């Protein structure tokens, strides 16, 4: 609704993990560099953890897009909540092994071993990337470890990259996973964005979306965004999108800290916890945001402004 007003081709802060909007911030670039080096080493497990909304899925897809198909055979598992049998079958399908459903457990393992040896003879490394790895059941994690036992005298035939929330660290800390834990040769923890990171994040995403002009978010608005989101990119996207809606409704060409504050009031999970307000006031804010989508204006905003603390 506000794209034309701000000179944008598309929404700059959509929640879908579009790699075209990946900003090469220090934590993201450091993580991708580590992953590339680790995969080049050719051994063990690699683990990337971070809070919800820190960009793990986006990084996983960026890694998928950056690895050369001539050197790597990739197996991508975005939904890991499966049984050990389901895991082995899913990896086999990703490696283009046919007739998996007709094989028993040993048959699937034999087929996997044969395929991995074939790929290694072609000079290709096989990498399994698992998103949302904190959802892996206990038995499936052990089955994954056993899969990495497939090897030649010279090298491992399979590498595994785990992308997960901090709950994955808690799971791996259990004594029963000490063998798997010892095989994690590289790990990285994604941190929240600071004000400098957030400034670049906003400006580069706006530029990708087609914005050309003076900074669209004021310095105070950016500081408020960082405080209100805790530096979590997903929450930054939500708050930035809503703040743009508020600015558009007022006909303002720059987003202010006040616009961000109003976005915070309408957003679950925004921090810091704001002063408690009447339920009817929250309903009014939500209704006014919805009204923008219909009429492209905010005629009631001046009235609400007097009511807000």
Q: What is the pLDDT of residues 18-40, one digit of tens each?
A: 889 999 898 899 999 999 999 98
Backbone angles phi, psi at 164, to 5 degrees: -155, 165
In a domain, 103, yes or no: yes
pLDDT score recorded for residue 118: 93
pLDDT score recorded for residue 70: 80
273 with 232, same domain?
yes
Q: What rounded mean pLDDT belongs to the chain?
A: 86
In a domain, 120, yes or no: yes
**Tokens matching residue 63:** 């890694």
The C-alpha atoms of residue 162 and residue 128 are separated, in whole angstroms, by 8
How does DSSP classify residue 256? Answer: -
76 with 184, same domain?
yes
pLDDT band at 153 (very low <50, low <70, confident <90, very high): low
Given a cut of 60, is residue 244 above it in pLDDT? yes
pLDDT score recorded for residue 280: 39
Going from the C-alpha of 228 to that of each of 236, 262, 288, 290, the distances in angstroms are 8, 11, 21, 21
Given a cut of 60, is residue 143 above it in pLDDT? yes
214 with 178, same domain?
no
In a domain, 208, yes or no: yes
pLDDT score recorded for residue 308: 45
In a domain, 82, yes or no: yes
pLDDT score recorded for residue 179: 92
183 with 197, same domain?
no
Lowest mean pLDDT among 36-40, 81-85, 127-131, 278-282: 278-282
295 with 240, same domain?
yes
**How many domains does the chain divide into?**
2
CATH of the domain at 171: 3.40.50.300
End position of a domain, from candidates 166, 189, 212: 189
In a domain, 36, yes or no: yes
Given a cut of 50, is residue 288 above it in pLDDT? no
The C-alpha atoms of residue 22 and residue 28 are separated, in whole angstroms, by 9
The C-alpha atoms of residue 187 and residue 4 are separated, in whole angstroms, by 43
**Structural domain of 167:** 26-189
Q: What is the pLDDT of residues 106-141, one digit of tens each?
A: 999 999 999 999 999 998 999 999 999 999 999 999
Lowest mean pLDDT among 44-53, 252-261, 284-293: 284-293
pLDDT score recorded for residue 298: 45
């Amino acid at each position: 609704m506000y794209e034309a007003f701000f000179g944008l081709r598309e929404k700059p802060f959509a929640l879908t993990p579009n790699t075209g909007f990946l900003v090469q911030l220090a934590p993201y670039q450091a993580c991708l560099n580590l992953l590339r080096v680790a995969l080049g080493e050719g051994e063990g497990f690699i683990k990337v953890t971070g809070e919800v909304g820190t960009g793990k899925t986006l990084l996983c897809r960026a890694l998928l897009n950056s690895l050369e198909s001539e050197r790597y055979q990739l197996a991508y598992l975005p939904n890991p909540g499966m049984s050990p049998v389901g895991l082995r079958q899913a990896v086999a399908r990703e490696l283009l092994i046919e007739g998996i459903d007709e094989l028993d457990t040993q048959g699937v393992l034999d087929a996997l071993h044969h395929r991995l040896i074939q790929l290694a003879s072609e000079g290709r490394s096989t990498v399994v990337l698992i998103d949302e790895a904190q959802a892996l059941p206990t038995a499936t994690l052990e089955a994954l470890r056993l899969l990495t036992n497939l090897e030649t005298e010279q090298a491992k035939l399979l590498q595994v990259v785990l992308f997960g929330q901090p709950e994955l660290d808690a799971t791996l800390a259990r004594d029963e996973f000490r063998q798997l834990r010892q095989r994690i040769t590289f790990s990285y923890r994604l941190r929240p964005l600071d004000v400098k990171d957030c400034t670049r994040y906003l400006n580069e995403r706006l530029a990708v979306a087609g914005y050309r002009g003076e900074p669209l978010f004021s310095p105070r608005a950016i500081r408020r965004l960082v405080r209100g989101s805790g530096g979590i990119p997903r929450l930054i996207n939500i708050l930035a999108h809503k703040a743009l809606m508020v600015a558009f409704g007022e006909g303002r060409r720059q987003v202010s800290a006040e616009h961000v504050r109003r976005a915070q009031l309408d957003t679950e999970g925004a921090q810091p916890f704001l002063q408690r307000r009447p339920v009817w006031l929250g309903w009014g804010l939500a209704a006014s945001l919805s009204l923008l989508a219909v009429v492209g204006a905010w005629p009631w905003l001046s009235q609400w402004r007097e009511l807000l603390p």
